[in-house]
Amino acid sequence: MKNLVIIGGGFAGATLAKKVQCRLPPEWNIYLLSETNFVTYYPLLPEVVGASVLPGHIQAPLRQIARHARIRMVKVDNIDFEQKKVFYHNNEAGELPFDQLVFAAGVRANTNMMPGMQEYALPLKTVGDALYIRNQMIDRMEQATIHPEPYHRKHLTTFIVIGGGFSGVETAGELDDFLKAAVHYYKNVRLEDCRVILLHSGDRLLPEISEKLGRKTEREFKKRHIEVRLNTRALRIEADRVILDNGEAITAGTIICTIGTLPHGFIQNDALPRERGKIKTQGDMSVTGMNGIWALGDCALVPNARDGKFCPATAQFADRQARFLAKNIAASVRGKTTRNFSFRPIGLMASTGHNKAVAEIYCFRISGLVGFLLWRAAYLIKVPTLARKVRLYLEWTWAMFFPPDIAHLGFKRTEPDATASNIEVDNH
């Protein structure tokens, strides 16, 4: 038997494992090594922050997506290209020989982009991060409602989001929606004291799409009293404030950071050709100068034959690359020629909260409620597994008629109690 080993069970890795399974000759085993045993549907992560969806709605188990792959929930530590082995660990260390190897490990949040970020800012890269931010929002409302000082109450209910790209805009919109709906349940918190401030270093929001839609989002946010600060670069983060490069300090009870990514440590392998921290590939996604080694998704720098540029780090490209690579790997193991990746992106969409979204589909620009319905329909189609589509549809419908869930999800476990053994109880 021969082994195709895929590192990373995200958009790219999971799709590849699913698509390649019916294309390889029978003597091939497919191994999918991933730190988590599920795919996280990241575009909906801001919705978890705003309690619009539950975490289970945006996580799909790998074992249900790629049924024929051998899934190992492990963290890859190193690769020996000479011995052709991958080294990993979970509770114990292990190794796996490979004949073909695929890097699909994505990127991680860079929490060291500026001083104080690691200590005082909340990143948004995992479902755990999203739930933590949601809890923090509720914590702050609970603290504010019992605080005697009006100034301090206002401070507690001020939220700063750093980054005006897709995830920053969507997070700011979700925060604002949640605060406006939740404030009615907190007697001492005033609506006008709940502030969401969005800091962006560029001169317009959503630089990934057309200027017109970016400006429209800005106007929309201003109408809803979300404070948008453009051309504003954060220099340092302190316990309760962000210091800007012009020396100004903006105070807030919570600071969320949606910018900055880093490659995973094991990718910094000297044998791998890298540029900007990503693995450099040829047009067919084979790693430059290496035989039987491939890379795709956010961890790779893949040229797009359609425009000659490197592919952007988006879910859409990760998915398309995976489908394409499944064919290339199947061709390669049979000694046939591979093809260069070429894809015209369909478009981009961002939900801006308040049942509105902006979308750019080919040359069409759509915004407002129509954009929002389109955004929801698109994600409903894309979310993996039928079970999740149904759950997501029901959850969204439910949320249209009922108030948001403001329960604090305390992750508290029962602690050992030394006094318990001395108390007489009747167990019958």
Ligand X SMILES: Cc1cc2nc3c(=O)[nH]c(=O)nc-3n(C[C@H](O)[C@H](O)[C@H](O)COP(=O)(O)OP(=O)(O)OC[C@H]3O[C@@H](n4cnc5c(N)ncnc54)[C@H](O)[C@@H]3O)c2cc1C
Pick the binder of ligand X from 47, 69, 71, 106 (CB under 6 A). 106
Q: Report yes or no: 371 and 360 within 8 Å, Cβ to Cβ.
A: no
Q: How many residues bind ligand X (CB under 6 A)?
A: 33
CA 235 to each of CA 51, 116, 171, 275, 286: distance values in angstroms, whole numbers, following the listed order: 30, 9, 21, 26, 39
Least gap, CB of 412 to ligand X (angstroms): 26
User: Counting contacts by CB under 6 A, is residue 371 touching ligand X?
Assistant: no
User: Counting contacts by CB under 6 A, is residue 313 touching ligand X?
Assistant: yes
User: Counting contacts by CB under 6 A, is residue 195 touching ligand X?
Assistant: no
Question: Is the Cβ of residue 144 or residue 392 nearer to ligand X in the bound state?
Answer: 392
User: Counting contacts by CB under 6 A, is residue 45 touching ligand X?
Assistant: yes
String of contacts with ligand X for each residue 120-159, x by CB under 6 A: ----xx----------------------------------
User: Counting contacts by CB under 6 A, is residue 353 touching ligand X?
Assistant: no
Q: Pick from 69, 65, 70: which is nearest to 21 by CA?
A: 69
Instruction: Give the integer Cα–Cα distance in Å for 49 and 129.
Output: 9
Instruction: Give the integer Cα–Cα distance in Å for 224 and 215.
Output: 14
User: Counting contacts by CB under 6 A, is residue 379 touching ligand X?
Assistant: no
Pick the binder of ligand X from 5, 6, 11, 47 (CB under 6 A). 11
User: Counting contacts by CB under 6 A, is residue 264 touching ligand X?
Assistant: yes
Instruction: Give the integer Cα–Cα distance in Å for 327 and 332.
Output: 9
Q: Pick from 300, 301, 46: which is nearest to 198 by CA?
A: 46
Least gap, CB of 151 to ligand X (angstroms): 32
Per CB under 6 A, contacts with ligand X among 71-90 are 75-76
Stretch that binds ligand X, among 31-39, 226-234, 339-347, 386-394 (CB under 6 A): 31-39
Least gap, CB of 179 to ligand X (angstroms): 19
Question: Is the Cβ of residue 321 or residue 332 nearer to ligand X in the bound state?
Answer: 321
Pick the binder of ligand X from 17, 43, 228, 357 (CB under 6 A). 43
Q: Report yes or no: 245 and 233 within 8 Å, Cβ to Cβ.
A: yes
Question: Is the Cβ of residue 193 or residue 284 nearer to ligand X in the bound state?
Answer: 284
Q: How many CA atoms lie less than 13 Å away from 294 in the CB half-sphere?
A: 34
User: Counting contacts by CB under 6 A, is residue 241 touching ligand X?
Assistant: no
Instruction: Give the integer Cα–Cα distance in Å for 390 and 392.
Output: 5
Question: Is the Cβ of residue 11 or residue 372 nearer to ligand X in the bound state?
Answer: 11
Instruction: Give the integer Cα–Cα distance in Å for 353 and 377.
Output: 16
String of contacts with ligand X for each residue 321-340, x by CB under 6 A: --------------------
Instruction: Give the integer Cα–Cα distance in Å for 379 and 49.
Output: 17
User: Counting contacts by CB under 6 A, is residue 260 touching ligand X?
Assistant: no
Question: Is the Cβ of residue 44 or residue 194 nearer to ligand X in the bound state?
Answer: 44
Question: Is the Cβ of residue 157 or residue 258 nearer to ligand X in the bound state?
Answer: 258
CB-based closest residue to ligand X: 10
User: Counting contacts by CB under 6 A, is residue 167 touching ligand X?
Assistant: yes
Pick the binder of ligand X from 178, 266, 324, 343 (CB under 6 A). 266
User: Counting contacts by CB under 6 A, is residue 24 touching ligand X?
Assistant: no
Give the length of the chain. 428
Pick the binder of ligand X from 4, 6, 8, 161 (CB under 6 A). 8
Least gap, CB of 258 to ligand X (angstroms): 6
String of contacts with ligand X for each residue 282-301, x by CB under 6 A: ---------------xxx--
Least gap, CB of 73 to ligand X (angstroms): 9
Question: Is the Cβ of residue 157 or residue 328 nearer to ligand X in the bound state?
Answer: 328
Query: What residues line the site for ligand X (CB under 6 A)?
Result: 7-13, 33-36, 42-43, 45, 75-76, 104-106, 124-125, 166-167, 264, 266, 297-299, 313-316, 318
